[in-house]
Amino acid sequence: MNSLHSTSHSVHVLKFISQFRSTPKFCLLKRNVTSNLENFGSNLFSNSTASISIKAARDGVNTAVVVEEEGPKLRKFQVFEGHPAPFGATVRDGGVNFAIFSANAVSATLCLISLSDLPENRVTEQFFLDPLTSKTGDVWHVHLKGDFKDMLYGYKFDGSFSSEEGHYYDPSQIVLDPYAKAVISRGNFGVLGSDDNCWPQMACMIPPADDKFDWEGDSLLKYPQRDLIIYEMHVRGFTQHESSRTEFPGTYLGVVEKLDHLKELGVNCIELMPCHEFNELEYYSYNSVLGDYKVNFWGYSTVNYFSPMTRYSSAGTRNCGHDAINEFKLLVREAHKRGIEVFMDVVFNHTAEGNEKGPILSFKGVDNSVYYMLAPKGEFYNYSGCGNTFNCNHPVVRQFILDCLRYWVIEMHVDGFRFDLGSIMTRSSSLWDAVNVFGSPIEGDLLTTGTPLGSPPLIEMMSNDPILRDVKLIAEAWDAGGLYQVGMFPHWHIWSEWNGKYRDIVRQFIKGTDGFSGAFAECLCGSPDLYQKGGRKPWNSINFVCAHDGFTLADLVTYNEKHNLANGEDNNDGENHNNSWNCGQEGELASISVKKLRKRQMRNFFMCLMVSQGVPMIHMGDEYGHTKGGNNNTYCHDNHINYFQWDKKEESASDLFRFCRLMTKFRHECESLGLNDFPTAERLQWHGHAPGTPDWSETSRFVAFTLIDSVKHEIYIAFNASHLPVTITLPERPAYRWEPLVDTGKPAPFDFLSGDLPERDTAMKQYSHFLEANLYPMLSYSSIILVLSPVDNA
C-alpha cells in the first residue's frame, strides 16, 4: 500500500508559546486550544504540511502549542483533549471525538484527509496527540470541532519496528481505525487505483452529525431457528450477470431488486458472504487461462470489520461512504419487509494484513502484538491458512469483536452471523495465562498459544451477551490448523454449526456408497449422534450439501474430479475429496440417460435437505442447476463462473426451480419437518422394503420412514440409492390411503404433483393399481414422498 509520508520542514519557524492568554492566532479555552488557521490541502511531498501539537496541562491552565508555519492556511478546528470512550470516531458535544487503543505505541497522530487529497496521497491536516493529555491508559484520544465536510481520517503511530518483538510501528504509514464505520479508497469494484495501484491509500469515514436512516419501524424478525431455510448468497455475484437486468447490478440495491425471487423460492433467510470491507485486488494478477484478471471475489480477507464493503454499493465513495452504509441498511429493511432474515458471514479468524511480509493497513500498525496470535519470537501463527491468526481471546480483541457484532445488530439490524473458521475463536490467545484472563492463577494452567479451550472467553462473552444471545450464532466448527469441532463446539445452548458431517454422509449415501444407511438416518433426524448428548436441538445443525467452496449441486452429479485449471494453479488448488459422482460420464457432454440420472440425483439431494430435521441451507444458483464447470475453488473469478445466471433460472422455471420452490413450500407446511426436538418412536417409524423392517446392514442402500404430522396426518419418505429399482410395500393405514406427492424418478412436472398441476388426476390414476395393493415402484437412485389421506377424500 502506498503510504503517506511526512515531510521535513527545514525552513519552518517553530514557535513555542507557554502560559499565554490570547493572541490573534490563538485563544485559550479550558482544556482546549483553538487553531484559527484556514483550510488548505497539504502536499506531503512538498513543504506545505501544517501540523499542530497540543499539550494541555492537566489543570487546564498551562498550555503549550507548537505550530509549523508557512504554506497555505488550514481549516478552523477547535482541539480538545477528548474522551477515551467509545472507541472510533463519535459525534458528540458539537464535534467529533476520536479514540483508539494502542498499548505499545510511543506516539500517535490523528490525520485528516480530504476526499480530494486522498487519491493524491496527501494529508490535509494532522494533530499530534500528547501522551500526557490525550492518552488515558492505553487509549489515545482527541476531540475536534470544525468543518468535517468531505473529510476522512486515519492515524500514524510511532514505536518499535521489530518483527522479533512483534511490533510494526511505521510513522510514515497512515493506518485505519479498527472501529471506523466506513473505509474509503477506490469507488468501483475491480478498478485499479491511480498508477495501477492495487493498494491505494485508504482512509476512514468521519460520521456526519445528521446520521439518519428511515427504518420505517423495522426490527429483527426473530424467527425460531427451526423454521429457517437459509440461502447462501454472494452480493455481487447475485445480480452482476447481464441477464439480471437490474438497475444497479452487483450491489446491495441489485439484491433488493431481486428479493422477490427469494420469496418465490421459499427461503426466509439470506446468509451474505463477506460484506465487510475487503480489497478485491489483493492478489490481482493476469490469468492466462481465461485471459482476464484474478481477484479476491469471495472476500474472505477483511480490512475493516465495522465497514460494509463500499464497492458493493451503487454509491461507492459518495458522501464519504455514508451512502454505502445506508444502502446496506436498505437491503436489510427491504428483506425484512418480505419476511427474510439477514445473516452475515464474518471472518474473525484472520485479516488482509497477512504475515510479516504483508501490508500494514490497520491492526498491524495499531498494535500488532495484541491483535494477532504471535509466537515468542514474533512469528505469526497461521491457523487460518492465510498468513495470520486473529488473537480472538485476548481481552482487548474479544471486546473489539463483541463491539463489532453489537454494532451490526443494533445499527444495521442484522439477524445473525456465520463465523468462518469459527474454531479459531476457541483457541487460546498470545500472552495466554490464567491471571490475564480470569484475574487469578489456576493450578496446571500451562496452555500454549493456540491451544483449544473448553470454555473460550470470547465464546462465553458472546453467548451471554444480552444483545447477541438474541440473534443466531453459527460456527464453521473447524479451522486450517486441523481443529475439527463439529458436534463439539462450545455452545452454551446458543450456538449452531455448519454440519460438515451431514454434507459428507448425505453425499456418500445418495451416490450409492455402501455402509452409510445408518449414518444417513441420523442425518435425517437432525444428527442426534452429534448434538443430543450435549443438550442441543436439531436446529443446532445447519444442514447443507453444497456451499460456496466446493462443487455446486449440478457439478456434484457431473464431475468425479475437480477441474480448476481456470484458477491458473495447474489444478493444484481446491479439495481433492469431494464425494461426488458424475453418474457415468465426466463433464456436461453426456448421454441422455446420464443426464436424466443427474436430474434425479439433484432432486434427491434437494429433497433430502428439505425433509431432514435441522436447518437447511441452499447455495445460490443451486435452485436452477448453476455449473462452474467442475471448478470447486472459484475464489478468484469475477465472471460468469460465479454469477447467478438469470436466463438459466428462467429456463429452469418449470423444471428444477419449480421442484425446489415446491419442496420448500412443503417443508414450511409440515409441522413435523422443523421439530424443536429430536423425533422419537412415537412420531417416527423406520421401514425397509416392507413396513417396520429397516435394513441397517453394510450393503443397504434403502432408507424409509413415516412421520406423524399434525397438518398432513402422516408422511411416508423413502430413498432408494441402489442401482436397482425396487417395489416397496407401504404401511397399512385402515380408512386411509397413501397419495403420491413427490417422485424424483418422474420427469418434470410429474416429479412433484402439486394441486395446481393440470394433469394431476391423470398422473394419480397411473399409480392407482399399485396403491390399491399397498405397493409403490421406485426407480434406481430415486426418492419419494407420499401423504396419508382419508379414503372418503381420496
Dihedral-angle region of residue 482 (phi above 0 means left; psi in -120 to 50 means alpha; beta otherwise): left
Smallest CA-to-CA distance from 603 within 684, 545, 649 is with 545
Task: List Cα–Cα distances, 618 to 330, 552, 610, 630, in angstroms.
Answer: 24, 10, 10, 18
Residues in CB range of 28: below 8 A, 6 or more apart: 20, 21, 22, 63
Out of 282, 353, 476, 497, which one is annotated catalytic? 476
- Cα–Cα distance for residue pair 325/405, rounded to 1 Å: 15
Smallest CA-to-CA distance from 607 within 538, 687, 524 is with 524
- Cα–Cα distance for residue pair 757/749, rounded to 1 Å: 8
Question: H/E element holding 409?
Answer: helix 395-410
- Cα–Cα distance for residue pair 144/79, rounded to 1 Å: 5
Does residue 555 have an active-site annotation?
Answer: no
Smallest CA-to-CA distance from 156 within 98, 106, 104, 110 is with 110
| 774, three cell numbers | 399397498
User: Which residues in 44-62 are b (16+ Cβ under 10 Å) and which e?
Assistant: beeebbbbbbbbbeeeeee
- Cα–Cα distance for residue pair 591/458, rounded to 1 Å: 54
| 646, three cell numbers | 438469470
3-class state of residue 632 by DSSP: coil
3-class state of residue 135 by DSSP: strand
Helices (H), 206-346: 235-239, 252-257, 259-265, 322-337
Q: Are 191 and 200 in contact (CB under 8 A)?
A: no
Nearest 5°: the CA angle 646, 650, 651 is 115
Distance of CA 78 to the CA centre of its chain: 40
Does residue 420 have an active-site annotation?
Answer: yes
What torsion do the CA atoms of 100, 105, 111, 117 make, to the nearest 10 degrees?
A: -120
Helix pair angle (395-410, 457-464), 10° resolution: 30
3-class state of residue 771 by DSSP: helix
For 433, other C-beta atoms within 10 Å of its C-beta total 14
Q: Are 141 and 98 in contact (CB under 8 A)?
A: yes
Residue 143 bridge partners (DSSP): 80, 97
Q: Do strands 203-205 and 702-709 pair parallel, antiparallel, or not at all (unpaired)?
A: unpaired
Dihedral-angle region of residue 517 (phi above 0 means left; psi in -120 to 50 means alpha; beta otherwise): alpha
Annotate 508-552 with three-state secondary structure. HHHCCCCCCHHHHHHHHCCCHHHHCCCCCCHHHEEEECCCCCCCC
Residues in CB range of 476: below 8 A, 6 or more apart: 418, 419, 420, 421, 422, 423, 497, 498
3-class state of residue 133 by DSSP: coil
- Cα–Cα distance for residue pair 742/167, rounded to 1 Å: 62
What residue type is assigned to position 703 of the chain? V
Out of 130, 280, 353, 420, which one is annotated catalytic? 420
For the CA atoms of the chain, what is the radius of gyration? 30
Smallest CA-to-CA distance from 505 within 556, 537, 552, 544 is with 544
- Residues serving a catalytic function are 420, 476
